[in-house]
Amino acid sequence: MNETSIIFIMELIGTIAFAISGALIAVRRSLDLFGVVLVGCITSVGGGIIRDLFLGKFPPNIFYNVIVLIVAAITSIVVFVVSYLNVDKFEVLEKRIESINNFFDAIGLAAFSAIGTEMACTAGFSDMAVFSISMGLITGIGGGIMRDILVDSTPYVLKKHIYALASIFGGAIYYFIRTNGNKIVALIVSIPIIVIIRVLAAKYHWKLPKISFEK
């Protein structure tokens, strides 16, 4: 299996993970089938679209590789159907669903942070560390920000747990291993690190300092 195939598989994994995460949030907000599919797809491909525009790719890659969009749509439909058939259990299992959502969100963040960094390097920016890592960050969090705006919520990345920092840290690890070694090793090392940071941050409620005006 060559590097291109591995990166494509990682993109599909990230797409499915983010589609599940986005669709679950849409279901919890009582959106209809179209709304669930739209939010699921935006969560999956939104960051990649923003990244491609920064890289000067127009139309963005998603419109050339529609299989990714189809996978996101099908995944979102499956989430809607499963939730619809188990609506009586949805509220009872809310905490477990939150944990499932956090896990898939962590996988999506990890996969897309690495892929975004790789896309920047492939596009000829491998000598620009900050830019390449920023493209990984945008790919990782862009879809989630668009998702939260659609469901009328303050973007998750701005208020809860260690999110953007996990993406930046993992993207930096990917970049420096990739530019000094090879892509496969970079993927193997960076993706689990991001997932572990996110899962632990969610479990132990790691947060950055903030000013609270609540009594």
Peptide bond connecting 59 to the previous residue in cis, omega within 30 degrees of 0:
yes
Confidence of residue 116 (pLDDT cuts 50, 70, 90): very high
pTM exceeds cut of 0.85? yes
Q: Are 106 and 99 in contact (CB under 8 A)?
A: no
Quickly count: other Cβ atoms within 10 Å of residue 67's Cβ: 12
State yes or no: pLDDT of 132 exceeds 90.
yes
Segment 50-57 mean pLDDT: 94
pLDDT in tens, 167-186: 999 999 999 999 988 888 99
Quickly count: other Cβ atoms within 10 Å of residue 137's Cβ: 26
pLDDT at 215: 59
Segment 107-115 mean pLDDT: 93
User: How do the domains of the chain map onto residue ranges?
Assistant: 3-204
Q: What 8-state DSSP symbol labels residue 108?
A: H
pLDDT at 1: 61
Q: Give Cβ neighbours of residue 77 (< 8 Å, ≥ 6 apart).
A: 33, 36, 37
Q: What 8-state DSSP symbol labels residue 206?
A: -
pLDDT in tens, 182-202: 888 999 999 999 999 998 888
